Structure 1
Amino acid sequence: MNQVIAAADGAWRVLLAGLLLGAGLPALFALGIRQLAAAHVPDTAGARWHPGLHRAAAYVSFAVVVLAVLLGLSYIVAHGFGYVITFDGIIPVVRPKK
């Protein structure tokens, strides 16, 4: 039974990483494009229009996508130079391989 739980836990983690990195980043980028477009077109239904809020949401989503891409590139480059990136907390730490 422990092996089934361990396999399910590993499969869940792989599925989550695949969704976040595989489909999540392009979806987040598309959401940013949508918010940026909404910042330039006022709503005609009589609702309040907040272009600054849409623009800020777009820039935040773009920043998250750029940071994820830079983290992925740094991971690849670090392994090429013989380093590993560990995530002991929020900030990734680059250390030499043992």
Structure 2
Amino acid sequence: METLKLVLESVWRVLLVGLLLGAGLPALFAVGVRGAAIGNGYEATDGTTHRPNPLGTVLAVVMFAAVIVAVILGITVIVASGFGLRVSFENIYPTLVER
């Protein structure tokens, strides 16, 4: 019974990370693209035009920055493991430490 509990706990963690990174980052990017469209003004399918909204630009910048930080952090984890290091999240910001 203990083994089944450990397996289900591991599956739940993998599913959560997969949803966050597999679907979450593209969703953030899509929100950023939508924010950029709102920030520049756009024409709806019914022909109405919408004025540029600066909050859309701010939203786009924040979303794109979050995606870029996640990608850089992922690359850092991969490269660090190749050098025998690991990324530690003990501080406010990630640091590289020896294994």
TM-score, normalised relative to structure 2: 0.80
Distance between the aligned counterparts of 1:55 and 1:7, measured in 2?
44
Letter in 2 for 1:57: L
Q: How many residues align?
A: 95
Partner residue, 1:21: 21
Q: Per-residue deviation at 1:50?
A: 6.8
What are the ranges of 5 or more consecutive residues in structure 1 without an aligned counterpart? none
Partner residue, 2:81: 79
CA, structure 1 residues 38+6, in 2 after alignment: closer, same or farther (shift >3 Å)? same
Identity of aligned residues (%): 44
TM-score, normalised relative to structure 1: 0.81
**Per-residue CA shift, 1:3-36, capped at 9, x if unaligned?**
3333222211111100111111111101100111
Counterpart mapping for 1:1-80 below 5 A: 1-41=1-41, 44=48, 51-80=53-82
Taking only aligned residues, the RMSD between alpha carbons, in angstroms, comes to 2.3
